[in-house]
Structure 1
Amino acid sequence: MMKLFIYLFGIVLFFGSCEDKKKASQNENEIQNEIQNEDEVEVEVEKKTGPEYPEITNENVVAFLTEYGKNNPETKVLISSRFGDIEIELYKDTPLHRANMIYLVKQKYFDETFFHRVVPNFIIQAGNSDIVSTPRKRNALGNKYLLPAEIIPGRVHEYGTVSGAKEYRENPDNRTAPYEFFIFLGPKSSTTHLNGKYTIFGKVTKGMDVVEEISKVKVDDGDWPLSNIYITAKVIE
């Protein structure tokens, strides 16, 4: 009888041990699957949150904007501020500047930037700010590229034209600083130092009354408005 009991007890231990091993194996597989699933989720998140476009440099700017322009043919943007809306039409014969503007608008670069330079009866300039988000955006998109000049013979600055700002130092080719633009208001007599040296890539088609109001704000000695004029921008057509 004792032998039978020991025999049966041994069988119970054996199958119990097998069950424990089976459960342990299942648990290991489940844990491994969970880890794998977590890895897949992390990879998927990285894919969704990673940069959609490469950083723009002087080496790839022409190729990048040429391709981007083909896929994004829009020509109208809306600049909004507390003074109202300004509608801008971008010229197709300045394709790099048009594509660059559309790209920056779609990347939300201009949101939280200002009309940061105001010269009465001359220009209002936008695309910069003194808050940390602006240099961060520039660093993410490409902080060191310039746009090749696209100066059209015979095209001059006149009331409502939109031009790219530029760096004066060591810039014999009149390359445009990509993140800032200005709207011209002044008389043609004040354009001699602008014509042929700055790329005109668009014009205001609606909202020059808003431009006029902005041009009248009080500014400091550096032409910076005393009260920040925040803007947002969107593509409308």
Structure 2
Amino acid sequence: MKKLVLLTILTMVVMGCENQVTSHHPKVTAQQAPRDSTQATIQQQPNTKAQDSLSIPQETLTTDNAVPFFFEYEKKHKERYVRIITDYGNIDIELFNETPYHRANFIFLTKQHYFDGTVFHRVVKNFVIQGGNSERWEISRRRAAIGSYLLPPDTKKGFKHHRGIVSMPSSDIDNPHQFASPYEFFIVVQKPGAYHLDGHYTAFGKVIAGMEVADRINEVATEGKDNWPVKEIKMKVVLLNNQEKE
């Protein structure tokens, strides 16, 4: 009889322990579920400054939410100087305060390291060099993580397409307002300038050092109707402070 009572007590203790473990096992929530790797990539990219709530959009950018996002972003991110690093040398660029959305867009993409590993994918002799694109899958994933968006043109600030001007091409998407492709840019190498572009494309910066590098890139061999360089010209874009630009 004593053995039966003891066995009953042990059985109840074991069952109680099993129920305790089961009741404390955490349930899988939406926050704990695995996230898409392309979304995680952009959120984990380090900035050169401490991150704040405006450093990264809460959702992927679209044409509808891009301007409101950059309107707030440019208030806290006032950087104006960047350096394009290539195997041909460095190109230093000053971004215009007068084109705030386009300046903020370029600073944002630089801080997200979007341009690192992209290439100058279009070189038109004695005209322009165009960069910010690549056929690499990694670059496509970065764009997907950031978002698919266009920026409205800002062509009435008085900037002409002089030699050395940095401007934003229109999107390949047919749109009546000539919205710009935010991931790409071109540098005018034509002398004294490419003034037929005025009023059609947004000039948002200028080369302040390294124009000879742009000229060297403009001399590379190209192929096809798209003027794609035969040899890949990769770039990395970094922020400059006032001391570095001087």
Question: Shorter-normalised TM-score: what interval?
Answer: 0.7 to 0.9
Amino acid at match of 1:202: G
CA drift of 1:42 comes to 6.2
Amino acid at match of 1:66: F
User: 1:153, 1:196 within 8 Å by CA — same for their partners in 2?
Assistant: no
Question: Which of 92, 102, 124 is the aligned partner of 2:129?
Answer: 124
Counterpart position of 2:152? 148
Aligned residue in 2 for 1:43 = 32
What is the letter of the counterpart of residue 21 of structure 2?
E
2:179, 2:31 → 1: CA distance? 41
Instruction: Return the alpha-carbon distance in structure 2 between the equivalents of residues 153 and 42 of structure 1.
Output: 45
Tell me the residue number matched to 1:217.
220
Q: Distance in 1 between matches of 2:130 and 2:190?
A: 13
Structure 2 unaligned segments of length 5 or more: list them.
44-55, 242-246
Give the equivalent residue in structure 2 for 1:230.
234
Q: C-alpha displacement at 1:168, in angstroms? A: 6.3
Is contact 1:114–1:228 with CA below 8 Å preserved after alignment? yes
Do the aligned partners of residues 11 and 140 (structure 1) sit closer, same or farther apart at CA in structure 2, a change above 3 Å counting?
Answer: same
Say how many residue pairs are matched.
Answer: 224
Residues 28 and 82 (structure 1), Cα distance of their counterparts in 2 relative to 1, 3 Å cut? farther
SS of alignment partner, residue 79 of structure 1: strand
* Cα shift readout 1:158-203 (whole Å, capped 9, x = no counterpart): 2221100113664443321111000111113x52321121111111
Counterpart of 2:112 in structure 1 is 107
CA distance in 1, matches of 2:97, 2:142: 26
Which of 80, 83, 106 aligns to 1:78? It is 83
Deviation by residue 1:111-161 (Cα, 9 ceiling, x = unmatched):
221100111222111011122223332222222x21111113431112221
CA-based RMSD: 2.7
Measure the CA separation in 2 of the matches of 1:30 and 1:235. 53
Distance 1:31 1:197, change over 3 A: same
After superposition, give the CA deviation of every residue in 1:20-59 in whole Å (9 maximum; x if it has no partner).
32233223323443x31x747962975x948552122221
What secondary structure, in the 3-state scheme, does the structure 1 residue paired with 2:140 have? Answer: helix
Q: Structure 1 residues 30, 71: CA separation in 2 closer, same or farther (over 3 Å shift)?
A: farther
Alignment match, 1:61:
66
* 1:180 to 2:198 alignment: no
If each structure's helix is expressed as a fraction of its own residues, which one has the higher value? Answer: 1
Instruction: Please list the CA deviations of residues 58-93 of structure 1 after superposition, one character each: whole Å capped at 9, or x if unmatched.
Output: 211211111122232222222222222222221111
Percent sequence identity over aligned pairs: 36
TM-score w.r.t. structure 1 length? Answer: 0.82
**Structure 1: 5+ residue stretches without partners:** 1-9
- Of 12, 27, 44, 2:3 maps to 12
**Letter in structure 1 aligned against 2:207:** V
The answer to whether the 8 A contact 1:81-1:231 is kept is: yes
